[in-house]
Structure 1
Amino acid sequence: MTTADGERVPATPGSSAPVASMAELLPDGLVVVGADRRVRLVNAEALRILDIPDPADLIGLPVDDVLPLTDKYGRDWWAHADPWDGAASRTGHLEKLLVGPRGKEVLVTARYVRSGLGGGDERVDRVMLGLRDAEARQRAERDQATVLSTVAHELRAPLTSVTGFTSSLLRRWERFTDEQKRLMIETIEADANRLTRLITELLDISRLDSDSLNLRLGPVDLHDLLRTHVVRHELGRATGAVRLELGDAAAEQGLPEMWADADRLEQIFFNLIENALRHGAGVVTVTLDRRGEWVVVRVDDEGDGIPPSDREKVFGRFWHGPSNASTGLGLYVVRGLVEAHGGTVTVEENEAGGARFDVRLPSGLPDVVSE
C-alpha cells in the first residue's frame, strides 16, 4: 500500500490496509483501542512520540499494560477516565498533558466511538487517542518562565532603590543635606525612568508579537533627533563618550525627506546607543548618511565586537550573551520597530574591530499614515 505521495506504508498488523494507510497521513499520532481494550492500530507518528520502535510492542496487547498513562497526580488515566464503563453521554476528553511509557510527557486527546443506534446499547466500540509531542508546550512554558523571571529581576532592583530612598527621605528628611537629598531624588528619578523603559519594552514586545503595533507617522528631522540624543548622553556621561557625524553622501547631497514615528525612532537609537555604551568600549560614533533614497544610521563602538556566530542571536528575545548585563529585550524591540518602518537593521564588525549596527530606513511620504 502507498500514501498519496507514492511512499510505501506498511500495514499495521490487525488493521485494514486502507485505514492504516490513512492513519499514516495524519500529522498527529493515532492509537486506536478496541472494545476488548486491546490496541488495534497505531501510526508511525504515535510510535515516534511514544518512543516505541516496534508496533508489535503495542498491537493486539492490553492497552493498560503496553500504554500506561498517568496524570499529573500520578493516577492511572485509563482507570480514572474509564472510557468503556462511564456515562453513555460522554464523547471523549479534551487534550490533557499525561505521562506515557518511559516517563515521557505526551499531549493526549480521546474520542469515543460508540456502536448501536440507541435503546441503551451504546457501548464504546473504539477509543481513538490523538497524540502530540509535548516538547512545544514545554518550550513555551520555559519561555514564559524566563519572561517572568527576567521581569521580576529587572523590576525588583529599581523598585528596591525607589522604596529605600523614599522611605529614608520621609522618615529622616532633616538629617540629610540638600546635596544628599538631590542625589537621592536623582537616583529615584533614574530608577523610575528605568522601570518605565522596561514596561514600554514589554508592551512593545506584546504588540510586535501580536502584529498590533501602530505607528504615528510624520515628518522627522533625524539629524536633530540624533543630535539631541548625543547631547543627552554627553550630559550624563564623560564628554565625548558619544559623537555624531555626517557621512559623505549626506554632507554633499543632504538628507531626503523622512516620514516616521519620531517617538519610535527615539526608542530605536536610545537602545542602540545604550547597548554600545554598555557592551562596547571607547567612543561611540553615530554616523548619519544616505544611500539613494534610504536614510542610513551606523552606530559604532570600539569594543571587542560580536562574534559572527552571535550576530543574529543578539536580536533574539531575552538573549543577552554571557555577561547577563541586560534584559535582552532592547535589540529585539529595535529590530521589530525598524522593520515596522519598512527598514532593516544588521550588525557587523567595523574598522576598529568593534560592533557596527547598521540601520536602513526608507524616506519619502508614505501612501497611508497609520494612526
Structure 2
Amino acid sequence: MSTDPGAGNASDGGPLDVQSVIDALPDGIVLAGADGSVTHVSVAARRLLGPAAAVGVPLREALPLQDLDSCGWWETLKPYDGLATRTALSESAWLLPDGTELLVTARLDRDAPLAPVRGVAVSLRPARARARLEQERANLVTTMAHELRSPLTGVRGFTATLLERWDAFDDAQKRLIMESVHHDTDRLSRLIGDLLEVARISAGRLPLAASTIDPVVTAEAVARSVAAGSGRAVEVRTEPGSDLRVHADPDRLAQVLTNLAENAVRHGQGQVRFLLSSYDDDAVLLAVEDDGDGIAADLRRRVFTKHWRHGDRAGTGLGMFIAHGLVRAHGGDIDVTDAASGGARVEVVWPRARDLS
C-alpha cells in the first residue's frame, strides 16, 4: 500500500488521487506511513474522529479509541510492533472519548512476510447500523417464535388426542382433526417460507426465474384463492385491449399479489380490487384497492419496513416488506396512496415483458 498521493494510475492514464478516492468511500479511512504518521484522512473519518485526526500527527493520537476495559486500540493491537506475520486487524468495536461506538478494522502493508509494516490503512464506521441489524434480528426471532407457537400447539394437541383416544373417534371425526392438522402445518410452511424470503431479500440473494407472463391470469388465480380463504369478494379489473404482459418470476409475482390482497382483506373493508392497466411504454400498473379507512400519510413510509404492524388484526409484519423486496428485485416500484373510495391503494409499477414488439 503506497501512501504517495500520486501513486498508481487511473483508468484514463492519469495519476490516482488517493484523497479523492478515500473521500468517496462511505466508511472513514485513515492512512499512515512507515513512521506511524498519518498521511491521509478521509472526510468521513474526520467527521467521526474530530480535529485529532489530522495529517502529520501520530496514528496513535489520531485514533483515541478504547475498549470497555479502557484499553487503548494502539496499545492493544500494536499495528506496527505486533505479530510480524499479520497483514490485517479484524473488525472490532471501540469507543471514542464521548462514548460513540465505532467498528474498526485495519490493513497492514508489508513488502513480504515478516517484513516491517510500511503502511497502515484503518477503516472506521459507526456501530449504529450493526446495533439496528441486531435489533431487527431479535425482533424477527421474537415475532416468528410467537407466530410459530400457535400452529405448533395445535398440531401437538390434535396429534396427542388422536394417539391417546384413537378408538374413541369415528372416521368423520378423525378426518376433521386431520384437516385441522393440515391447516396448521400449511400455516407453518408459509411462516417458514416468509422467514426464508426475508433472509434472502435482506442479503440481496433472491433467486429469480423470470419469463414473459400475463399478470391478469395471475391476478385472477390469486383473487380466487384469497376469496376462498377469506370469504371476501376480490374483483379483477383490466384495461380492455391492452397488452399487459410483464417480465417476472411467476411464483414471485403471485406472492406479491397474494401479500397485497391478504393485507387489504386483513386491514381494509368492503370489496378488494385488482386493477391492471398500462403505466407507460416500459411498465404495467398493478394496483390493489380496498374500501376501508386507508393508510394515514405519516404511516405510508413505514408500511414496507420489516415488522410493520398496524391495528388489532396485524400479522407477522413481514408481508408488505416481502412484497416490496420482490418488486424491487424485478426492477419495479411500489407505493401507497388513496383509492377513490377512500380506502388504501397500493400501486406496483412492474417492467413490461422485454420481448414485446
Fold match, TM over 0.5? Answer: yes
Give structure 2 stretches of 5+ with no counterpart. Answer: 6-18
Name 2:164's counterpart in structure 1: 171
User: Quick one: which of 245, 261, 277 aligns to 1:258?
Assistant: 245
| Mapped contact 1:258–1:362 kept (Cα < 8 A) | no
Task: Select 1:345's aligned residue among 316, 334, 352.
Answer: 334
Matched, 1:136 2:132: no
Match 2:103 to one of 104, 107, 110: 107
SS in 1 for 2:105: strand
Report 1:83-122 matches (<5 A): 86-90=82-86, 93-110=89-106
In the other structure, the counterpart of 2:15 is: none
Hey, what does 1:81 align to over in structure 2? 77
- Residue 361 of structure 1 deviates from its aligned partner by 4.4
User: Which among 303, 308, 314 is matched to residue 325 of structure 1?
Assistant: 314
Query: Once the two structures are aligned, what percentage of the paired residues are identical?
Result: 35
Give aligned pairs, total: 335
Aligned partner of 1:236 in structure 2 is 229
Match of 2:209 among 209, 215, 219: 215
Give distance in 1, aligned partners of 2:34 and 2:194: 54
* Closer, same or farther: CA 47–185 of 1 in aligned 2, 3 Å: same
Task: Give the CA deviation at 1:276.
Answer: 0.7
Q: Does 1:366 align with 2:348?
A: no
Q: Give the partner amino acid of 2:245.
A: M
Between the aligned partners of 1:26 and 1:341, the Cα distance in structure 2 is 29
Output one character per residue of 1:197-226: Cα deviation in whole Å (capped at 9) or x when no partner.
233334344444525432252554725x44
Structure 2 residue 218 is the aligned partner of structure 1 residue 246: no
User: 1: distance between equivalents of 2:205 and 2:24?
Assistant: 31
SS of match in other structure, 1:97: strand
**Residues 275 and 129 of structure 1: CA distance in aligned 2, closer, same or farther (over 3 Å):** closer
SS at match of 2:187: helix
Give RMSD over aligned pairs. Answer: 4.6
1:18 is aligned to: none
Q: Give the match for residue 149 of structure 1.
A: 142
Of the candidates 258, 262, 274, which is equivalent to residue 262 of structure 2? 274
Does residue 168 of structure 2 align to residue 189 of structure 1? Answer: no
1:9-39 Cα offsets, whole Å, 9 max, x none, are xxxxxxxxxxxx899958525386998x9x8
Distance 1:22 1:212, change over 3 A: closer
Find the aligned partners of 1:357 and 1:34 in 2 and give their Cα distance: 58
TM-aligned CA deviation for residue 275 of structure 1: 0.4
Aligned amino acid, residue 98 of structure 2: R
Q: Does 1:69 align with 2:66?
A: yes
2 CA distance for matches of 1:360 and 1:78? Answer: 52
Q: Which of 305, 322, 339 does residue 316 from structure 1 map onto?
A: 305
Structure 1 gaps of 5+ residues are 5-20, 115-119
- Offset of residue 363 of structure 1: 5.4
Q: Residue 64 of structure 2 contacts residue 72 of structure 2 at CA under 8 Å; is this kept in 1?
A: no
Partner of 2:269: helix, strand, or coil? coil
Q: TM-score, normalised by structure 2?
A: 0.70
Contact 1:258 1:365 survives alignment (8 Å): no
**Larger radius of gyration between Structure 1 and Structure 2:** 1
Alignment partners' CA distance in 2, 1:218 and 1:90: 53
| Pair 1:199-2:187 in alignment | no
Deviation at 1:271, TM superposition (A): 1.2
Whole-angstrom distance in 2 between the partners of 1:78 and 1:318? 41
Shift, 1:181, TM fit: 3.8
Alignment of 1:278-293 (within 5 A): 278-289=266-277
Aligned pair in 2 of structure 1 residues 185, 339: CA closer, same or farther (>3 Å)? same
Tell me how far 1:129 sits from its aligned partner. Answer: 5.0
Change (3 A) 1:105 1:87: same
C-alpha displacement of 1:348: 1.4
